[in-house]
Amino acid sequence: MTRITFYKGLREIGGTFVAVETEKAVCMFDFGFAVSDRCDDRIRLRPRSAVEDYVRIGMLPAADGIYEEGPAALLGLTSFRNRKKEVFFFISHMHIDHMGGLGMLDPDVPVCMSEDSLRLYHALADEGDLLFRAHGSCIGIPYGGTFSRGDISVRVLAIDHDVIGASGAVISTPDGDIAYTGDYRFHGFHPDRTKAFGEICRGADILITEGVTVSFQDVDMPSLTEPEEAVRTEETLQKEMACAAAEKDGLIVVNPYNRNVERIHRLIGTFSEEGRILALDPRQAAYVAAFYPDDDIRIYEGTLRGRAGAGKCPVVLRDEILADPGKYVLQLDYQDLYELLDFKGKISHYFHMDGVPLGSYEECYKKMSAFLDYLHISYENVGLGGHARPYCLKNMIETVDPGVLIPLHSFRPEQVNSDWIRRRILPREGQTIILQKGEVIE
Ligand SMILES: [Zn+2]
Ligand SMILES: [Zn+2]
């Protein structure tokens, strides 16, 4: 008998936490932070009780067998050291709502993820881009490879999302197979990966899928037909940027999401073909260098802030940009916004493309807009997002055609549906369902 417990992340976007427990092992996924309006990263962590604090405010789950002795005792939980079964994690991708809590686990908990996710995780750690500390027991699995403990095995499968290394998984137990999508889309550089994921998972006993894009308005998914208008993709964005680079005279500024490393890698080439140099901040440069060491990576002087440089990457000076702004594109993180003050009258356009602030729902989005307006800088949002459009969600669930569909990671998971679906469960927080010889019992 396999027990599947849905702890968190069911009717919200973030903090998905599910435990699959067999006779011998427990596989858990993912381990990010719930997006919470009672939390603010301007409030300082208390190092002596960071784990307990995050569990007590509901950012992390109160689960047995995953925390160190101290926090577990305080929270009335069984520690990892005193666990009764093999406990391990699968992490689908390096977005904070899926991996932010890793450093708060007992350092010895095995955590499997794709090889590329692990590479990015190491780069995040090197750049001080993790909230607490780096987790010590991560295992990188090549796409298509399997990680096993006890009687559970996890096959890590590539899927396209707006972060490098994204994966879904098939979790195989003696009672049947559970497919978990993580986050996915069909409008990235690799729609083939997402399609292949659905085909590999066809006939799974259970499909657990995200449903982000049906969160914000009424959607009647079963009646959706293929949209007629062309969907903008990562390739479209590259073409748009090539046009902008050719047509605009002055400096172009872009604000992408820095973990979508493949987009930056491609932008370096796209802008170079139009005779422009893309100058990065050192953190972005480090993420690109971790995956594409042969790229022509340049760093903008103004973002170095006392850093001695970043490896062998040449530095682009402020004066060089001022002398010939039409030869450059500046990648600028929100936290470096004041750098724009040095280029008054030289900036042609600011393209916001999925960087921080991540959306208009963030407080600082209004501030960014007001700042750009004040400086009379023209700007637009050309972001693509990382989640499958509702029609594509439907396509995925019909391709997999699972025994039971379980939508989560959505404000309105009840909207994730298809007429083809034989059975659907919308679990309550804390609910356990049973998988026994391919049958699901609520
Ligand atoms: Zn997510
Ligand atoms: Zn994500």
Res 423: pLDDT: 98
Pairing of strands 206-210, 404-408: parallel
Q: Which ligand is nearest to the CA of 259?
A: 2
Res 113: pLDDT: 98
From ligand 1's centre to the CA of 27, what distance in Å? 19
From ligand 1's centre to the CA of 383, what distance in Å? 16
**Roughly how many angstroms between the first and final C-alpha of the chain, as a whole number?**
13
Output the tens digit of pLDDT for each of the chain's 442 residues: 999 999 999 999 999 999 999 999 999 999 998 766 677 778 888 989 999 999 999 889 999 999 999 999 999 999 999 999 999 999 999 999 999 999 999 999 999 999 999 999 999 999 999 988 999 999 999 999 999 999 999 999 999 999 999 999 999 999 999 999 999 999 999 999 999 999 999 999 999 999 999 999 999 999 999 988 889 999 999 999 999 999 999 999 999 999 999 999 999 999 999 999 999 999 999 999 999 999 999 999 999 987 876 667 999 999 999 999 999 999 999 999 999 999 999 999 999 999 999 888 788 899 999 999 999 999 999 999 999 999 999 999 999 999 999 999 999 999 999 999 999 999 999 999 999 999 999 9
Q: Which ligand is nearest to the CA of 409?
A: 1
Q: Radius of gyration of the chain from Cα atoms? A: 22
Q: Which ligand is nearest to the CA of 29?
A: 1
- Domain ranges, ordered by start, for the chain: 2-223+387-441, 234-381
Which residues sit opposite 431 in a β-bridge?
6
Q: Which ligand is nearest to the CA of 15?
A: 1
Q: Which two tokens stand for residue 159?
A: 């899927």
234-381 shares the fold of 2-223+387-441: no
Residue 42: CB atoms within 10 Å: 5
pTM of the model: 0.96
SS in 3 state form for 314-369?
CEECHHHHHHCHHHEEEECCHHHHHHHHHHCCCEEEEEEEECCCCCCCCHHHHHHH
From ligand 1's centre to the CA of 98, what distance in Å? 6
Three-state DSSP state, 180: strand
What are the Cα distances from residue 69, in Å, to 75, 83, 112, 128, 378? 10, 11, 22, 26, 54
- Are 142 and 154 in contact, with CB atoms under 8 Å apart? no
Residues sharing a CB contact under 8 Å with residue 217, sequence separation 6 or more, in sequence order: none
From ligand 1's centre to the CA of 30, what distance in Å? 10
Return d(Cα 415, Cα 395) in angstroms, integer. 14
Res 47: pLDDT: 87
From ligand 1's centre to the CA of 280, what distance in Å? 26
CATH top-level class for 2-223+387-441?
Answer: alpha beta
CATH topology assigned to domain 234-381: Rossmann fold (3.40.50)
| The CA-based dihedral angle spanning residues 272, 277, 283, 287, taken in that order and rounded to the nearest 10 degrees | 10
Among residues 78, 77, 61, 54, which one has the least CA distance to residue 16? Answer: 61
From ligand 2's centre to the CA of 28, what distance in Å? 17
Which residues sit opposite 92 in a β-bridge?
none
From ligand 1's centre to the CA of 409, what distance in Å? 7
From ligand 2's centre to the CA of 94, what distance in Å? 7
From ligand 1's centre to the CA of 304, what distance in Å? 31
From ligand 2's centre to the CA of 392, what distance in Å? 16
Return d(Cα 311, Cα 307) in angstroms, integer. 11
Q: Which ligand is nearest to the CA of 184?
A: 2
